[in-house]
């Protein structure tokens, strides 16, 4: 049985535990105390008590102190500053500023020896600038003058271009560049000169081509055609008219020498007693003259119309004669047309008396070749009605002026075609018949391919209206001997 007292008797370990707890508690308190010693204590400030708000009084501005006067630089500092300004102005070529700075510096140090050089530098610089400005102004004026002159020259050159005046245009261009040498570098001048030069060269080529052809025709004895071809060359180069005229005059002179016959001053018979308009048979003595060896051909008349722009015969169908009829006598021409051609050729129409003397010779022959008229098919001496009536294979019409078939019909003086082929205008007037007021008729001589042999007689006379055109009327020319 257990002892109750022994059961109530305390054991040894609880005391140890209690002692340990006390020690731990003491250590904790010690540490806490030390921590409070390290942290500064927070001091609580007393809360201020609000006071009654008093009205705010305006703040007084801070007193403004009077500005202090800058301390004036020394005279030496002012002089150096002005010299610096002077040099800067000289470098900038500001001569007015440089002069002002120089005067200011001189006032500070009047006897400074550097002023003379600076003053000379300013004067030299100003002089150089003035010269440059004057040169620039002169260059500008010259340029303006050049532009005005070029505008006029360009206008003239254009006018030359449109009228084919090539030499004149080139002269304007060369004269301009001679006056203004710098123009050769101008693009507009260069372009104009180049374009005009190309056109001039083309025209020169065409002109020389046609003139060479004319010279070839001249060498072949085709003088009328040579004259016409040379005239055509002028459309490419009108300024070379003197050169062409010289060539044409030479061709005409030779044409006259070879194409005209000299009729001497000899007593000759004209007229007859057979018809009233032929009477009387009489002897005349005329001054010596020249007359065309042949009738004027289409080829020769074409030279005239080409040169003068005269209206060609209506049957030409243009401005050129019918093909293969160049050597036929020109027809469908009025008396005025014949006169115009003769004047252009340096000739005139023959009088009726001159024509008859050239056809008849010094005796009283009835026809240019004599007194007999041949009516055999192969022996006709003139192109007349009977000729083509007997030659059924032939169509009536004109033939070449130098047709070999009719060479036997030449006159005593060596003139061909005085009978037949075409009637020929003369300068002699004849009374008009049945017109009010009457125009002055003109005498025709020689007969034609449409007339019978009686009309071929040297004394035969036909008067007609000079304004009319006929298929069998032409002409030949005469010329006074100088």
Q: Which residues contact 174 (CB under 8 A, 6 or more apart)?
A: none
pLDDT-derived band at 59, boundaries 50, 70, 90 = low
Phi, psi of 290 (to 5 degrees): -110, 145
pLDDT-derived band at 5, boundaries 50, 70, 90 = very low
* Cα 269 from Cα 397, distance rounded (Å): 31
Q: Judge whether 421 and 401 are in contact, CB under 8 Å.
A: yes
* Cα 240 from Cα 203, distance rounded (Å): 11
pLDDT of residue 41: 47
* Cα 314 from Cα 469, distance rounded (Å): 9
> Bridge partners of 424?
445, 474
Whether pLDDT at 51 is above 70 = no
* Cα 469 from Cα 204, distance rounded (Å): 40
Whether pLDDT at 11 is above 60 = no
Q: Where are the domains of the chain?
A: 76-198, 287-480
The pLDDT of 173-183, averaged and rounded, is 90
Q: Judge whether 298 and 304 are in contact, CB under 8 Å.
A: no
pLDDT-derived band at 430, boundaries 50, 70, 90 = confident
pLDDT of residue 117: 82
* Cα 278 from Cα 339, distance rounded (Å): 25
Whether pLDDT at 140 is above 90 = no
* Cα 314 from Cα 302, distance rounded (Å): 13
Q: Is the model more confident about 319 or about 272?
A: 319
The pLDDT of 143-159, averaged and rounded, is 92
Please, what is the average pLDDT of the chain? Answer: 84
Query: DSSP letter string over 210-233?
Result: HHHHHHHHHHTT-HHHHHHHHHHH
- Please write the tens of the pLDDT for every residue from 354-379: 999 999 888 888 899 988 877 665 67
* Cα 224 from Cα 214, distance rounded (Å): 10
Q: Is the model more confident about 49 or about 251?
A: 251
Which region among 52-61, 244-253, 340-349 has the lowest average model confidence (pLDDT)? 52-61
Q: Judge whether 411 and 360 are in contact, CB under 8 Å.
A: yes
pLDDT of residue 49: 47
Q: Which alpha helices (DSSP H) does 361-478 contain, by range? A: 385-390
Phi, psi of 444 (to 5 degrees): -110, 145
Burial of residue 55 (CB within 10 Å: 0-12, 13-18, 19+) is exposed
Distances (CA, A) of 92 to 84, 86, 98, 116, 320: 12, 10, 9, 19, 82
* Cα 324 from Cα 327, distance rounded (Å): 8
pLDDT of residue 241: 94
Evaluate the omega torsion of the peptide bond into residue 280 and state whether it is cis, within 30 degrees of 0: yes
Which region among 238-247, 266-275, 468-477 has the lowest average model confidence (pLDDT)? 266-275
Phi, psi of 262 (to 5 degrees): -85, 125
Whether pLDDT at 303 is above 80 = yes
Which region among 41-55, 185-199, 244-258, 261-275 has the lowest average model confidence (pLDDT)? 41-55
* Cα 221 from Cα 479, distance rounded (Å): 21
Per CATH, which fold does 287-480 belong to? 3.90.1580
Per 3-state DSSP, the chain is made up of helix, strand and coil in percentages (nearest 5) of 50, 10, 40
The number of C-alpha atoms within 13 Å of 466 and in the hemisphere containing its C-beta is: 20
pLDDT of residue 42: 44
Q: Judge whether 271 and 254 are in contact, CB under 8 Å.
A: no
Rounded to 5°, angle at Cα 258 from 254 and 261: 125
pLDDT above 90: percentage of residues in the chain: 44
Tokens at residue 457, please? 């007689």
Whether pLDDT at 352 is above 90 = yes
SS3 label, residue 419: coil
* Cα 129 from Cα 123, distance rounded (Å): 10
Q: Is the model more confident about 66 or about 173?
A: 173
Query: DSSP letter string over 257-272?
Result: HHHEEEE-S-EEEE--
Q: Judge whether 121 and 114 are in contact, CB under 8 Å.
A: no
Whether pLDDT at 416 is above 70 = yes
Whether pLDDT at 247 is above 70 = yes
Q: Read off the pTM.
A: 0.60
pLDDT of residue 4: 46
- Please write the tens of the pLDDT for every residue from 447-479: 999 999 888 998 899 999 999 999 999 999 999
* Cα 403 from Cα 389, distance rounded (Å): 18
């Amino acid at each position: 049985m257990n002892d109750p007292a022994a059961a109530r008797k305390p054991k040894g370990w609880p005391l140890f535990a209690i002692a340990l707890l006390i020690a731990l508690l003491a250590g904790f308190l010690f540490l806490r105390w030390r921590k409070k010693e390290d942290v500064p204590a927070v001091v609580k400030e007393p809360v201020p008590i609000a006071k009654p708000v008093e009205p705010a009084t305006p703040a007084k501005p801070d007193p403004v102190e009077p500005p202090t006067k800058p301390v004036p630089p020394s005279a030496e500092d002012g002089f150096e500053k002005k010299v610096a300004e002077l040099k800067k102005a000289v470098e900038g070529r500001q001569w007015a500023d440089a002069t002002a700075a120089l005067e200011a510096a001189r006032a500070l140090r009047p006897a400074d020896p550097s002023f003379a050089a600076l003053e000379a530098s300013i004067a030299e610089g100003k002089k150089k600038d003035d010269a440059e400005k004057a040169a620039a102004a002169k260059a500008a004026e010259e340029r303006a003058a050049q532009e005005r002159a070029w505008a006029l020259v360009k206008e003239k050159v254009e006018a030359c271009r449109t009228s084919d005046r090539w030499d004149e245009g080139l002269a304007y261009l060369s004269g301009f560049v001679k006056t203004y040498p710098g123009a050769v570098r101008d693009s507009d001048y260069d372009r104009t000169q180049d374009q005009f030069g190309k056109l001039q060269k083309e025209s020169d080529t065409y002109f020389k081509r046609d003139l060479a052809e004319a010279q070839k025709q001249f060498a072949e004895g085709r003088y009328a055609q040579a004259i016409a071809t040379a005239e055509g060359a002028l459309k490419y180069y009108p300024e070379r008219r003197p050169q062409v005229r010289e060539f044409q005059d030479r061709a005409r002179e030779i044409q006259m020498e070879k194409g005209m016959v000299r009729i001497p001053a000899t007593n000759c018979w004209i007229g007859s007693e057979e018809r009233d308009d032929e009477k009387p048979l009489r002897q005349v003595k005329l001054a010596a003259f020249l007359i065309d060896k042949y009738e004027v051909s289409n080829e020769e008349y074409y030279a005239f119309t080409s040169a003068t722009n005269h209206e060609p015969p209506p049957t030409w169908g243009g401005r050129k004669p019918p093909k293969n009829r160049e050597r036929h006598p020109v027809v469908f021409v009025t008396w005025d047309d014949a006169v115009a051609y003769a004047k252009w050729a340096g000739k005139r129409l023959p009088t009726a008396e001159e024509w008859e003397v050239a056809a008849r010779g010094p005796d009283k022959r009835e026809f240019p070749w004599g007194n007999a008229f041949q009516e055999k098919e192969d022996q006709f001496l003139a192109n007349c009605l009977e000729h083509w009536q007997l030659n059924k294979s032939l169509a009536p019409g004109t033939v070449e002026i130098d047709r070999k078939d009719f060479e036997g019909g030449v006159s005593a003086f060596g003139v061909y075609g005085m009978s037949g082929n075409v009637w020929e205008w003369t300068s002699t007037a004849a009374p008009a018949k049945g017109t009010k007021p009457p125009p002055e008729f003109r005498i025709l001589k020689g007969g034609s391919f449409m007339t019978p042999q009686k009309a071929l007689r040297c004394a035969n006379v036909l008067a007609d209206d000079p304004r009319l055109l006929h298929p069998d009327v032409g002409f030949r020319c005469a010329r006074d001997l100088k």
